[in-house]
A and B are shown apart, each in its own frame.
Chain A
Amino acid sequence: VAVLSVILTFGLCFLGAIPIALLWRSRVARVVALGVASFGLLVLAFQVLGCLAAVTGAALVTRGGALIASGVLCAVAWGVRRARRPRPELPTRWPPLEDRTRAWLALGVIVVGAFLAFAAASGLSAPPRGWDILSYHLPRAMSWLLHGDLGPRGSTGAFYPGNAELPILTLLFSGSDRLVPVVQLPFALLAGVALFGLARAIGASIRSSALAALVLTLSPIVFFQSTIAKDDVVVTALVLAGAMFLLRSLRARAGARERTQEIAAAGFALGLALGTKYSILPYVFGSAPLVLLVHYVRARGGPGAPRAQRAWRPAAVFVVAAAIPSLFWFARNAIHTGNPIEPLPLGPGQWGAWESPGFELQFVPRPSLWWIFPWIDRQLVAGYNGAAGYGAAFGALFLPGLILCARAIRSRVRHYERATLLIAMALGVAGWWFGKFHLPRLLLPVVALACAPIALVFDAVTRGARRALIVLLAVALAFSAAETLRITFLGRDITWTHRGRVDHREFYRMPDLIYELPAGTRILLLEPSSDDLYKTYRYPLVGALPGNDVVMEDDVGVGMDLAARGAVLGHIDLHAHAIDYVFMRIQTHRPRETWFDAYPHLYEKVVDLVEPGYPWYREAYSVDADGEIVGRALVATQMYRVLPRPTGIGWEGAPSEPPRP
């Protein structure tokens, strides 16, 4: 029943998306619209349930709630479709493709399919892994599953927008997290199709557009992201879809239903991305004025309403459509904290205090050299992984593509579309730079946009030069694929090492007790050191689904300062928040005492272990002063049961005289 409900929830969202996708006549636009609308319906279903849960206080974000909400949305979509019939302008068939083009497309689909199938096998080889995934992506979905709402919880990522966690939440309804690592895989496919459609929208041929799509879908970063439950491929696919619909809107007549439809789809896709990741804020804030600008320029000399009026309407449609799937998260944050983009600084006056964490130094020797990243392309220490790897083909071809795209503006062929794409990329890079995090993976949506003009290179050159470029593309893709396979088979990435033979207990190295506690047991994960590795224990502490309710210090307002409060006050605080256990784990080579040990009448030590930690994560290795790995790190794990408050206890924790009989 659990698995069936998951299939039904996803299936109903897909079914509801069909009548929406049928509004488009182009094959590629239909496929992209189908993907965007399916995800959109799932997101809207949960957001409606989240609003109702917040108002009523009832646990509504559950399996049954998701099923009912997606069913209602599916019925509404089909009802609207039925009400719109008849639609005589719909074409009944498309012109057939040439045999050679069909063969090219089939070959591309087979290559991409094989690559992503291997990514799927790699992703499914072990339980969910990775710092972001274990410290907040999965724990957030778990907390929503346990509490039946979409509330903010945890010391990390509590207030981030959460659209990408909603498919994860749906998968967790099955009682298993087996499929969670490959949750981005469908979005990798969607990104490939959307990129194909984007290249077509700037005037490229079918074959060249397919080649451009290969540059992105066969890149190492897409492969490695497709094996972990991050969200960079999700937002990349949605930005590509939004850009494709935006450029298509420029070809439609002003005031025509098609234009409104394309603009609304562009806004909705980018709104879904905005509701997924804060890094998309600059893209969306930049794209709304861009829509206004390009439609104002495009409206020059046309008949009908004044030019400004014709430009305002699509911009308004765009903003409203973008707000629909994203507003929920910002409203939720505003209600909880007063800041819709918590924990980011709200006012421009505070932005100066927002320091760069210096993440770019993991990738380039100096921050000012960030622009060489397409040719360095990997983490300086770790190599290709989900944080890096645009691939050799991108490094070789994107600059010629941009040059040709700019040249084609001058020639006034599809110049609105090409100029819009170039401006969007410039805005994206500027937004990434001012965003200060400077992680290359946050630039992936712009990289994906920059893949589209590569198709123009193949179209513009002579036949002989085109053949040479195709050989070059094949060499570049082969190099990146070889390095991807080498890392997967040999590296410490370990996505392939276990081949599905490892379970949670062996992989996460958590005490057996974690798996034996009744569902909903509250465990406080303490921060025993400044090392952020402790946050990655947040999901492993869940144990067997439906799992324990793992809370962090910000949830309960108490943490390692418990000792400073005194044992009794701390004990009272823990009881006030219904904490059953406290858990701490640090890297050390010897057993250690904690202040909990001094109060055995308040805290019962139930786990005290020193053993090797995660076998798969970089922080699990001890390094010397030069940063060289010297061996597996040992971790000390302590877990205490919070005992019932004894009667007659003194203020400082010392038992007072026993009550007289």
Chain B
Amino acid sequence: MSQTADQDHRGGGSGRPEPLGAVSSWLLVVVSCSLLVLYLVLHAREIRLILAWLGSP
């Protein structure tokens, strides 16, 4: 079996990134959360419109 086929059958397992430690993992979560919060703050107008839409009869 060729290497390409081997890759297909092994799936991604052999190529997974080195696992992060607990601290690094949660740091990454904090970074992602911060970016999402930044996004949502910049979209405060849209959030108000969505809430008004959901609240309208």
Residues of A within 8 A of B (CB): 25-27, 29, 89, 91, 94-95, 199-206, 208-209, 248, 251-253, 256, 258-259, 262, 375-378, 383, 392, 395-397, 399-400, 404, 407-408, 411, 413-414, 417, 456-457, 459-462, 464-466, 468-469, 472, 475-476, 479, 482-483, 486, 489-490
Are A408's CB and B46's CB within 8 A?
A: no
Are A460's CB and B36's CB within 8 A?
A: no
Q: How far is the CB of A415 from chain B (nearest CB, A)?
A: 10
- Given the complex of chains A and B, what is the CA–CA distance between A404 and B33 in angstroms? 16
CB within 8 Å for A203 and B43 given contacts A253-B3, A460-B25, A472-B32:
no
- Given the complex of chains A and B, what is the CA–CA distance between A466 and B32 in angstroms? 12
Q: Report chain A residues within 8 Å CB of B11.
A: 200, 205-206
Chain A: CB-nearest residue to B9: A95
CB within 8 Å for A413 and B16 given contacts A376-B42, A395-B39, A479-B40:
yes
Q: Report chain A residues within 8 Å CB of B54.
A: 482
- Given the complex of chains A and B, what is the CA–CA distance between A94 and B8 in angstroms? 9
Q: Report chain A residues within 8 Å CB of B13.
A: 205
Are B17's CB and A94's CB within 8 A?
A: no
> Interface code B20-31, partner A: CB below 8 Å = 1, 0 otherwise?
111011101101
Counting CB contacts under 8 A, is B57 at the interface? Answer: no
CB within 8 Å for A375 and B29 given contacts A206-B12, A252-B3:
no
**Quick one: which of A95, A204, A483 contacts B12, CB cutoff 8 A?**
A204
Are A392's CB and B39's CB within 8 A?
A: yes
Which of B14, B17, B18, B36 is the most central at the interface, judged by chain A CB atoms within 10 Å of its CB?
Answer: B17
Chain B: CB-nearest residue to A209: B12
CB within 8 Å for A251 and B4 given contacts A472-B36, A490-B53:
yes
- Given the complex of chains A and B, what is the CA–CA distance between A486 and B19 in angstroms? 40
Are A465's CB and B15's CB within 8 A?
A: no
Are A465's CB and B25's CB within 8 A?
A: yes
Are B18's CB and A411's CB within 8 A?
A: yes
Are B42's CB and A397's CB within 8 A?
A: no
Q: Report chain A residues within 8 Å CB of B24.
A: 461
Chain B: CB-nearest residue to A206: B11
Are B39's CB and A460's CB within 8 A?
A: no
Q: Report chain B residues within 8 Å CB of A259.
A: 4
- Judged by DSSP, the binding face of B is helix
Contacts across chains A and B counted by CB atoms under 8 Å:
165
Q: How far is the CB of A34 from chain B (nearest CB, A)?
A: 16
Q: 22 pairs across A/B with beta carbons < 8 Å? A: A89-B5, A248-B4, A252-B2, A375-B42, A377-B39, A377-B42, A392-B39, A395-B35, A396-B33, A404-B28, A408-B18, A413-B15, A457-B28, A459-B12, A462-B19, A465-B22, A468-B26, A472-B32, A472-B33, A479-B43, A483-B43, A483-B50
Are A456's CB and B39's CB within 8 A?
A: no
Chain B: CB-nearest residue to A407: B17
Which of B11, B14, B31, B32 is the most central at the interface, judged by chain A CB atoms within 10 Å of its CB?
Answer: B32
Chain B: CB-nearest residue to A476: B36
- Given the complex of chains A and B, what is the CA–CA distance between A459 and B28 in angstroms? 12
- Given the complex of chains A and B, what is the CA–CA distance between A25 and B2 in angstroms? 10
Q: Report chain A residues within 8 Å CB of B4.
A: 25-26, 248, 251-252, 256, 258-259, 262
- Given the complex of chains A and B, what is the CA–CA distance between A408 and B20 in angstroms? 11
CB within 8 Å for A468 and B12 given contacts A203-B17, A396-B36:
no
Are A460's CB and B35's CB within 8 A?
A: no
Are A462's CB and B25's CB within 8 A?
A: yes
Chain B: CB-nearest residue to A395: B39
Q: Report chain A residues within 8 Å CB of B47.
A: 479
Chain A: CB-nearest residue to B6: A251
**Quick one: which of B17, B20, B40, B42 contacts A462, CB cutoff 8 A?**
B20
Q: Report chain B residues within 8 Å CB of A199.
A: 12
Are B36's CB and A395's CB within 8 A?
A: yes
Which of B20, B31, B43, B54 is the most central at the interface, judged by chain A CB atoms within 10 Å of its CB?
Answer: B43
Q: Report chain B residues within 8 Å CB of A476.
A: 36, 39
Are A413's CB and B26's CB within 8 A?
A: no
Are B28's CB and A461's CB within 8 A?
A: yes
Q: Report chain B residues within 8 Å CB of A472.
A: 29, 32-33, 36
Q: How far is the CB of B12 from chain A (nearest CB, A)?
A: 5
- Given the complex of chains A and B, what is the CA–CA distance between A248 and B4 in angstroms? 7
Are A400's CB and B32's CB within 8 A?
A: yes
Chain A: CB-nearest residue to B28: A400
Q: Report chain B residues within 8 Å CB of A460.
A: 16-20, 25, 28
Are A25's CB and B29's CB within 8 A?
A: no
- Given the complex of chains A and B, what is the CA–CA distance between A400 and B17 in angstroms? 13
- Given the complex of chains A and B, what is the CA–CA distance between A391 and B57 in angstroms? 27
- Given the complex of chains A and B, what is the CA–CA distance between A204 and B53 in angstroms? 39
**Quick one: which of A252, A395, A414 contacts B15, CB cutoff 8 A?**
A414
CB within 8 Å for A251 and B17 given contacts A396-B39, A399-B31, A460-B25:
no
Q: A251-B7, A395-B36 are in contact. List 9 more A-B contacts (CB 8 A).
A: A205-B11, A253-B3, A259-B4, A377-B39, A400-B32, A460-B25, A461-B24, A464-B26, A465-B20
- Given the complex of chains A and B, what is the CA–CA distance between A395 and B47 in angstroms? 16
Are A486's CB and B53's CB within 8 A?
A: yes
Q: Report chain B residues within 8 Å CB of A457.
A: 28, 32
Q: Sort A-B residue pairs by CB-CB distance and give the 6 closest, nearest first.
A: A203-B15, A26-B8, A465-B25, A396-B36, A461-B25, A414-B15
Q: How far is the CB of A653 from chain B (nearest CB, A)?
A: 58
- Given the complex of chains A and B, what is the CA–CA distance between A83 and B26 in angstroms? 56
Chain B: CB-nearest residue to A412: B18
- Given the complex of chains A and B, what is the CA–CA distance between A399 and B35 in angstroms? 9
Which of B15, B20, B40 is the most central at the interface, judged by chain A CB atoms within 10 Å of its CB?
Answer: B15
- Given the complex of chains A and B, what is the CA–CA distance between A27 and B11 in angstroms? 11
Are A396's CB and B18's CB within 8 A?
A: no
Q: Report chain B residues within 8 Å CB of A258.
A: 2-5
**Quick one: which of B8, B12, B26 contacts A465, CB cutoff 8 A?**
B26
Are B50's CB and A397's CB within 8 A?
A: no
- Given the complex of chains A and B, what is the CA–CA distance between A476 and B40 in angstroms? 9
Are A482's CB and B50's CB within 8 A?
A: yes
